[in-house]
């Protein structure tokens, strides 16, 4: 550094602290211009080039090799070691081998991905999807627009039409409970409840049988204990009541009087009536036609025939003691009907008579083994 004056200046001797600086007051003699003019009291490194400070070992670090230890003394590294980085160092608790799964056949196919491989050989579609093959190896999958008679896709225009069909928009302001329901309201959440808890609250439009009209299970079957005869002579078409005091099963809801000439049914109902009637020509055996029918009491003391129960027996009345021919004397008939006795008296009886005969000397006799009246509630 130098101080330059514009004009020459004569400076007498300059003194600093009584010392004269003389001509070297501001030269390199008094002011250092190189660090080699100064003592190295701080001990700075004076070597030129690369200088090793601390350890001299060489360590190569990469993605898997890292420092294990690095030791320092007074801020200078004095030693170091390396190690291989593991998944465990990163907090991984699974398999130590990062490449443990090398093939997807080591995995369970929990998502059900298809394992089929190969080439698609055919494409088919179910309506409304259709598949066309314009040329070999090409399949075109398409879907037509829906119409009033054909399924298909909905166009945007059709969707707009569908979406705008209703003009009823806004907020429900009141919910009213109708027939058979309770609840409702005009604000907040409302609840509707079914108030029908018994089928007697409903109209029986289907005509189901009620408990009072259901079949009672009435049953009974009755037979004669003795034969009865209409003798020869007299007039035809005179009726007699068949006596049926015997019972083959335990009666339920029905009962025969002691004489066997009236059957009473305890409940008004529909019943199945079965009549079996057998007779034989008697006295002077000849051709004879007999009949029997079931009657019911109308409730006023008048008995009427039940339509469909009348049966006829034609007895040839030919007898022959020859064991090769035997006798042709007996006949039998049977009938079955369903009868509604709800609006009538619940009494039944059976009557029989001679319809016609070839001779007044011929009579008829009932057969115990061939006569029966059976009744069953349905």
Residue 58 binned pLDDT confidence (cut-offs 50, 70, 90): confident
- Which residue, among 252, 264, 256, 253, has the nearest Cα to 223 in the 3D structure? 256
Q: What is the pLDDT of residue 136?
A: 72
**Does residue 238 contact residue 355 with C-beta atoms inside 8 Å?**
no
Can you give the residue ranges of every domain in the chain?
A: 219-377
Please tell me which residue, 111 or 368, carries the higher pLDDT value.
Answer: 368
Q: Is the pLDDT of residue 11 over 70?
A: no
Each residue's pLDDT tens digit, 250-301: 888 899 999 999 999 887 788 999 999 999 998 888 889 999 999 998 877 7
Residue 70 binned pLDDT confidence (cut-offs 50, 70, 90): confident
Of 6-10, 292-296, 327-331, 369-373, which range is least confident? 6-10
Asked if the bond preceding 12 is cis, omega within 30° of 0, the reply is no
Of 27-31, 243-247, 276-280, 357-361, which range is least confident? 27-31
- If you average pLDDT over residues 15-22, what whole number do you get? 53
**Does residue 306 contact residue 273 with C-beta atoms inside 8 Å?**
yes
34: phi then psi, degrees, rounded to nearest 5:
-145, 140
Residue 36 binned pLDDT confidence (cut-offs 50, 70, 90): confident
- Which residue, among 58, 33, 36, has the nearest Cα to 48 in the 3D structure? 36
C-alpha separations of 376 from 171, 243, 254, 276, 343 in Å: 63, 19, 9, 15, 18
Q: What is the pLDDT of residue 213?
A: 54
Residue 25 binned pLDDT confidence (cut-offs 50, 70, 90): low
- Does the domain formed by 219-377 have CATH 2.60.120.40? yes
Cα gap 340→267, rounded to integer Å:
11
Please tell me which residue, 238 or 53, carries the higher pLDDT value.
Answer: 238
Q: Left (φ > 0), alpha (ψ -120 to 50) or beta: where does 243 sit?
A: beta
**Does residue 16 contact residue 24 with C-beta atoms inside 8 Å?**
no
Cα gap 50→158, rounded to integer Å:
84
Each residue's pLDDT tens digit, 92-108: 777 666 667 778 888 88
Each residue's pLDDT tens digit, 182-219: 988 888 888 989 988 888 888 888 877 666 554 557 89
Q: Which residues pair with 294 in a beta bridge?
A: 350
Q: What is the pLDDT of residue 26?
A: 61
3-state helix, strand, coil in the chain (%, to 5): 5, 35, 60
Q: How far is CA 131 from the centre of its chain?
A: 35
- If you average pLDDT over residues 235-251, what whole number do you get? 93
Q: Is the pLDDT of residue 234 over 90?
A: no
Q: What is the pLDDT of residue 5?
A: 58
Q: Is the pLDDT of residue 44 over 80?
A: no
Each residue's pLDDT tens digit, 127-180: 888 888 777 768 788 888 888 888 888 888 888 888 887 766 677 888 898 888
Q: Is the pLDDT of residue 118 over 70?
A: yes
The fraction of the chain above a pLDDT of 70, given in percent, is: 81
The first and second tokens of residue 261, run together, are: 């000439």
Cα gap 312→331, rounded to integer Å:
8
């Amino acid at each position: 550094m130098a101080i330059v004056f514009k004009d020459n200046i004569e400076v007498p001797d300059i003194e600093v602290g009584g010392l004269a600086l003389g001509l070297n007051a501001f030269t390199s003699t008094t002011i250092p211009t190189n660090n080699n003019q100064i003592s190295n009291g701080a001990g700075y490194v004076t070597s030129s080039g690369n200088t090793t400070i601390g350890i001299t070992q060489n360590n190569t670090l990469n993605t898997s090799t890292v420092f294990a230890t690095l030791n320092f003394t007074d801020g200078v590294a004095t030693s170091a070691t390396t190690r291989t980085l593991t998944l465990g160092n990163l907090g991984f608790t699974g398999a130590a081998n990062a490449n443990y799964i090398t093939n997807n056949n080591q995995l369970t196919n929990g998502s059900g991905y298809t394992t089929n491989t190969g080439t698609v050989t055919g494409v088919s579609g179910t309506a409304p999807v259709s598949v066309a093959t314009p040329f070999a190896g090409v399949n075109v999958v398409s879907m037509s627009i829906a119409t009033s008679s054909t399924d298909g896709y909905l166009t945007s225009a059709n969707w707009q039409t569908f979406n705008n069909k209703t003009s009823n928009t806004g907020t429900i302001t009141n919910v009213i409970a109708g027939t058979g329901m309770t609840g409702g309201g005009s604000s907040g959440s409302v609840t509707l409840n079914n108030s029908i808890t018994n089928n007697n609250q409903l109209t029986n439009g289907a005509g189901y049988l009620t408990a009072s009209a259901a079949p009672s299970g009435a049953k009974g079957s009755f037979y004669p204990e003795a034969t009865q005869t209409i003798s020869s002579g007299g007039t035809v078409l005179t009726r007699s009541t068949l006596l049926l005091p015997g019972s083959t099963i335990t009666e339920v809801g029905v009962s025969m009087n002691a004489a066997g000439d009236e059957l009473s049914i305890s409940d008004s109902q529909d019943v199945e009536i079965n009549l079996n009637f057998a007779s034989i020509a008697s006295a002077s055996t000849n051709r004879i036609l007999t009949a029997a029918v079931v009657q019911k009491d109308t409730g006023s003391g008048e008995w009427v025939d039940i339509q469909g129960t009348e049966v006829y027996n034609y007895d040839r009345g030919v007898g022959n003691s020859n064991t090769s021919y035997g006798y042709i004397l007996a006949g039998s008939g049977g009938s079955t009907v369903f009868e509604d006795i709800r609006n009538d008296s619940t009494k039944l009886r059976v009557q029989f008579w001679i319809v016609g005969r070839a001779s007044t000397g011929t009579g008829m006799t009932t057969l115990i083994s061939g006569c029966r009246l059976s009744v069953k509630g349905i």
